[in-house]
Structure formats: structure tokens, C-alpha cells
Amino acid sequence: MGFDSVLGQLRSNTAIEFETIAGGSAVQLKAVTCSSMEEMGTALEINQSLSAGFAKFGKVDQKLEFATQQKVTTQSVQVVVYAKNVTRTVSVKDVSLKRGVQDEGLAEFFRIYGDSYISYAEYGGEFYAVYTFFTQTREEQTRIAAEVNTIVNRGVVDVSASIQTEFNSFLKSTETSWEVQYDLRGMGKTPLPDKAEIFDFALTIPNIPVADEDRVVLGTESSGYDDAAGLTLDLTQVKDNRAYFLGDYATGGLAADVIALQARRNGADWLEQIYGTYAIELPAELQNYIASIETGTTKAMEQYDAYSRNPLQAFTRPDLPVLEQTPPVLFVLQPNPFPPQWGGGGGGYWGYGNIEDAVINRRRLDYIYVRGGSNIDRIALKYKSFLGGEPDAASETHGAKDGNIHREMTIQPGDAVKTVKVTHSDWLHYLEIVTKETNGITVGSPGSRTVRSLTVPEGAAFLGFQGRSGDRIDRLQVIYAELKLKW
């Protein structure tokens, strides 16, 4: 088959004559730590340029589509688990150009046959998984990479059965936000495993039969027509454009810029999700950064589009200044001064937890229930977060069941608590909570006591509450964090 290596497009015709070499079966298992999108693509054994997946000009297979959906950033760490069961391979030798294929000239030759041909293909079934750790700085990236390397042992050719327990323990203990995605191809109706069993499942791949009707193309390699016997066409511009887009041994091509832009966009999207979780408007500098990424991506895609229409023209590298800009790092800071504590010292203490972990995992107050009468007797809170890339919920209840007045409120996505008002002596008597969208609940009466209030500052993230309680709510403190970007 002919092939356009820049756009990843197969041609239905081939310009070559060749001998076929058929190969047998093979098995491979590995767990690899990666710090870039290119390294991830190599670990997944994706031979086609990742940029073709982002450009969407060629036919993107299931695995390439999976790879382009990974939220790899410039500072993230990936752990790739890959297992394949190869049932057949095909390669070619003694390649020569067919008679007459060059008669219509280079443009027609390229249109029909592309710039290269498929020289190797393997068939079978495969399983692949990518854990992404959203580290923010090079220092954190290095530290997390080192920690997971001690477990997965970079570069090993098999996956140890002991890895699963160790890795699951690491996921539970790490303070770094993470997610995992995984898929299976060519294995018929074999069900996917639970995410806590990924390494163990990879070990079973050699034992899962691959039926001829189920097997897929696991990977291919292409070779340029440059050295094919019988070549008379001048392929200089074809080779120049291949190097321009895909790079050569010395420099990365435009494809590397596309991947770098996507990594920056993934990082900006992650920050955008955090700000959105707490209903905070994006800082102007982050909006400008995103706009610069989009401008750069448009410039690059315009060149891919121009190539698709005329692959024999010459190209000049576009100016992409955003690639010279250091990606932003989010700092989660405690407010100074710390929010006041309302009430006394009775009852037992209940704390909110680490505010940085909360923000990184997008933990937000989703629901609140308050019960009371002359006192605030009970508070129930439900928090939602994204642990392992999936929604997670945790509930807590404080105080007693007394009080004949009760109010509850669900805080919708895109909204957040804005103002909290209380009255108190050595315990709380009145509580009012109002969100940015002016939804709210009120329990108790302020009476003649002084109303204390706190309004979350603009640009800060309301997180939740901590305090003390026994038979009633003895103390309450608002917890919020200031978000700062460092460039």
C-alpha cells in the first residue's frame, strides 16, 4: 500500500513490486514511565506521527485516537502499560517500482501512491493503559517520575506481578492529581478490567486467544520511495517536506511543534477546569496564553491543510512565540490573615484537610444540610472531587439531631459559596450561606447578637468548612484558598 507519511493517509494503490516475508507470533509486555507526548507515543508503539491524529487529515485508528485524547502537559508524567499478542507479521523485500507508475509525473505519482509504502505490518491483539500525573513543575515532575520508576522500573520488557499492589498503594498515597485511561483491541469480546487491576490484566494478554476475525493491525512501518529500484523522478521536494513536517535526525519538524502546542493546551485546559470548579473567572494572562496557543495551532494546521492540497510546495516555519513562553504554574495559597473562627472551644475538632490537595483534585462543596432552632445543632456536608480522573464523593456530618428547623441546598456546578454569616456565643446560633448565584439557606435567628460575616475575595476558591462540634456546632470556620499563577 502507498502511504502519505505526513498526513498518515493510506493509498489504495501501491507503486512497488516486492517479495513478501511472513512472520510468526510474538508477545510483549512492558511498563514505561514517560515525560512527554513523544515518549508516550513510542511506549504505545504508535508508528504514525501523533501530529496526524491532531490534524485529523488521515484515517486515525483507535490507538492513535486514544493517544491524542491523553491530557499530556509540558510538565506531566505518564506511566504506560502495554501488552500485545502478535499472531502474524508481514514485511517486504527486493522492492522496485512498477513499470509505468512514473509516466504521469511527480504530482500524479504522489496523488496516487503517496511518498512512501508500508514495508512492515503486524497483526494481533493489544491492551494499553496510560496513567497521567498532573505535576506542575519540572521539580515535581522529576520527583514523581523517580517515585513511579522505583515501582514500574523503566525499560523493563515484562510487567512484574508485584507491581499492581505497589502501584495501587502509590496511587492512594500520592498528593498529585492523576487519572487513567485504557483500552483493548483485537481481543474479541474480552471485557476490560477494573482500573485497580490494570497491571495484572496486562499479564494475561499472552494467554488470551486472538481469533483471525478479531485481530487488528497493531502497527506498521513505512519506507520512502527514495531508494526503490527504478526510481527516475526527482523526490527532493518530497523528502524536504517530509523532513519539514516530521523532522529528521537533527531537528524536530512542524509535527513536534503541533505536539508541543497540544501539551500546552492540555495544561491550560487543566487550569481552566480548576478555575471553573470554583466559579472563578480566568485571569486575563491565562486567557491571553490560551489565545496564543490557539493562534499558533491555527498557523500550524493551515500548513497541514496547504500540504493536503499541494504536497509539493515549499514551506516556511511559522512564528510560534508561545512555544518560547514558560507554561504557568498554579500556586494554592492560604489566605493571610486566615479566616476567623466563630464560636468556642467545646466539642471535638473536625478539619477540612490539605487545601492544595483539594484544589488540585478539584474538590468542591456540592451539598449542605443545616439543622437547628435557637442553636445550630447539625451540619452535613457533601464534597465532590476528581480522584483518578473520575467523580468522587465524600460526606461528613457534625453535631446532633436536635432542632426543628432544617434547610438544605445543592450547589450547582458553576456556582460556589460567596458569603457566610453567623451569630455565636460559645456555639453557633444563626447561620446564613449565600452563593455567587444568590442561592442560599438560613437557619436560626440573629436576635440581638452581632452578625459576623465573611465574603470570599474575588479570585479565591471557596473550599468548605471546619470547626468543632458535640451536641451542637460549637465552632465554624470558612476555608478558602487564593489561586496564583506563576509564569
Over the stretch 381-413, which tens digit does the pLDDT of each residue have? 999 998 766 778 889 999 998 888 999 999 999
Contacts of 29 (CB under 8 A, 6+ apart): 82, 83, 157, 158, 159, 202, 203, 205, 206
Residue 32: Cβ-neighbour burial (10 angstroms; 0-12, 13-18, 19+) = buried
Q: Name every residue whose Cβ is closer than 8 Å to that of residue 80 and which is 6 or more positions away in sequence.
A: 30, 31, 32, 33, 34, 40, 43, 44, 128, 129, 130
- Residue 159 is predicted with a pLDDT of 61
Instruction: Give residue 155's pLDDT.
Output: 43
Domains of the chain: 2-230 (no CATH), 332-486 (2.100.10.30)
How does pLDDT run across 343-357, given as a tens digit for each residue? 999 999 999 999 999
Q: CB–CB of 240/132 below 8 Å?
A: no
pLDDT of residue 283: 97
Alpha-carbon gap, residue 51 to 254, rounded angstroms = 9
- The rounded percent of the chain whose pLDDT value lies above 90 is 76
What is the rounded distance in angstroms from the CA atom of residue 461 to the CA atom of residue 363? 10
Whether the Cβ atoms of residue 128 and residue 80 lie closer than 8 Å to each other: yes
Please provide the DSSP assignment of 259-286 as one string.
HHHHHHHHHHHHHHHHHHHTT-PPPHHH
Q: What is the pLDDT of residue 52?
A: 64
**pLDDT tens digits, residue range 70-102?**
999 999 999 999 999 999 999 999 999 999 999
Q: Which pLDDT belongs to residue 328? A: 94
φ, ψ (nearest 5 deg) of residue 357: -60, -40
How far apart are alpha carbons 194 and 110 in whole angstroms? 46
User: What is the chain's mean pLDDT, rounded?
Assistant: 91
8 A C-beta contact, residue 419 and residue 441: no
Amino acid at 167: F
Most confident option among 47-61, 160-174, 229-243: 229-243
Q: Which carries the bigger pLDDT value, residue 60 or residue 237? A: 237
Q: Strand 417-424: give its sheet, edge to edge.
A: 440-444, 428-435, 417-424, 452-455
pLDDT value of residue 329? 94
Distance CA 48, CA 69 (A): 15
DSSP state, 192? P
What pLDDT shows up at residue 472?
A: 96
**Residue 148 one-letter amino acid:** V
How does residue 137 score in pLDDT terms, banded at 50, 70 and 90?
confident
Worst-scoring range by mean pLDDT, 26-35, 89-98, 175-184, 402-411? 26-35
Question: In 16-61, where does DSSP find H-type helix?
Answer: 37-43, 50-55
- Quick check: 104 pLDDT over 50? yes
pLDDT surpassing 80 at residue 315: yes
* pLDDT beyond 90 at 442: yes
Q: Tell me, what's the pLDDT at 157?
A: 45
d(CA 90, CA 117): 13
- Residue with the bigger pLDDT between 291 and 28: it is 291
Query: Is 432's pLDDT higher than 90?
Result: yes
Q: Do residues 304 and 261 make contact, with C-beta atoms less than 8 angstroms apart?
A: no
Q: Evaluate if residue 158 carries a pLDDT over 60.
A: no
